[in-house]
Amino acid sequence: MGALKKIVAAVGILAAAGVGETVYFYNRTMKRGNAKTERTTKMSGTDWQQYFPLMEERKEFVMAQQHSDVYVTSFDGLKLHATYFPALEEEGDKEGVKPSDKVSGIKKAVICFHGYTGEGLSNHMAIADYFLKHGYTMLLPDARAHGESEGEYIGFGCLDRKDALGWINWVIQECGEDVEIMLFGTSMGGATVLMTSGLELPGNVRGIVSDCGFTSPKEVFTHVLNNMYHLPAFPAIQGADIMNKKLAGYGMDECNAKYEVQKAQVPILFIHGSADTFVPCSMCDEIYENCRSPKHKLIVEGAAHAESYYKDMESYEKTLDEFAEEIF
């Protein structure tokens, strides 16, 4: 009996430790305020400091353009925020915008979705310069539980794809039924637009660009625990999945980008860095292979997580130009 009691006690201790690990992981990862930008930046492995001068230079141009705060209500009652930039061509010629950059006769818009612990405006400052100078109307949403948007639990694309539908409808209402839309996303935003591809989208959505998007929150966090922290995914991931279904209303693998792109109806451009250790390039390959719509892929050699645009701007912008010519 003494040995049995010891075994039961040991099992109890392990179970308690598992519950504690699950709660700790969940609170650090899924809840607003606990998921820290500094921690995400460190895990991503990207040296952003080297790009600060470029970001500041582009920020000066972007923030000098007309922009405004806009809001919508999500499907579950949250007040969501975005920053809206009308196309420069609507205000006449601007310095740095060449006539050749404007697509005559086409009213085009881009909706940019940011990454985990980021914000719409701050995360897209560099690429916003490109989109504005190429004649796009631009909308930069803050994901739920980020920036100025309401919400306690992070959506990881699973809920954000439903929010994306709200922003798509807002752009159509604001710009008119003839507007043609590109969805663009980075990291969690990349997963968001890929997951959105499986929904029934308005015909205004002409194409999707995903930069370093992941398959599902379950799979990306399993990768992080196994490869970055050298910890087993069990029981933290399974426990977090149960908690998230109860608290946030979705399972951590119930929406997976590699399955959603099997239902995609619009062309998709996949971009990924070969040196991405946060969201491995193999995820991009897996999603790409499952995609059933017209597809293209750009792998930027040596680029870490979300670094592709900065690492090889020339190839990145050329690929975006070619994709835009195809979809608009």
Residues in CB range of 229: below 8 A, 6 or more apart: none
Give the pLDDT of residue 312. 98
What's the domain range around 162? 31-216+255-327
Confidence band of 14 (pLDDT split at 50, 70, 90): very low
Give the pLDDT of residue 168. 98
Closest C-alpha to 288, from 184, 215, 222 = 215
Q: Looking at residues 301-310, what average pLDDT do you find?
A: 97
Does a structural domain hold residue 142? yes
pLDDT exceeds 70 at position 97? no
| Structural domain total, the chain | 1
pLDDT exceeds 70 at position 204? yes
pLDDT exceeds 70 at position 181? yes
Least confident window among 5-14, 126-135, 200-209, 259-268 = 5-14
Does a structural domain hold residue 226? no
Confidence band of 321 (pLDDT split at 50, 70, 90): very high
Phi and psi (nearest 5°) for 143?
-60, 155
Which pLDDT tens digit goes with each residue over 259-268? 999 999 999 9
Taking the mean position of all CA atoms in its chain, how far away is CA 104?
30
Give the pLDDT of residue 60. 96
Torsion sign over Cα 131, 324, 196, 34: negative
CA distance 260 to 263: 6
CATH number at residue 271: 3.40.50.1820
Give the highest mean pLDDT range of 17-26, 42-51, 245-254, 297-306. Answer: 297-306
Better-predicted residue by pLDDT, 5 or 30 = 30
Does a structural domain hold residue 76? yes
Better-predicted residue by pLDDT, 129 or 98 = 129
Give the pLDDT of residue 290. 98
Q: Looking at residues 170-177, what average pLDDT do you find?
A: 97
Cα separations in angstroms, 115 against 24, 41, 185, 266, 325: 22, 11, 8, 22, 26
Does a structural domain hold residue 166? yes
Cα separations in angstroms, 310 against 49, 139, 317: 12, 21, 10
CA distance 186 to 189: 5
Does a structural domain hold residue 6? no
Confidence band of 2 (pLDDT split at 50, 70, 90): low
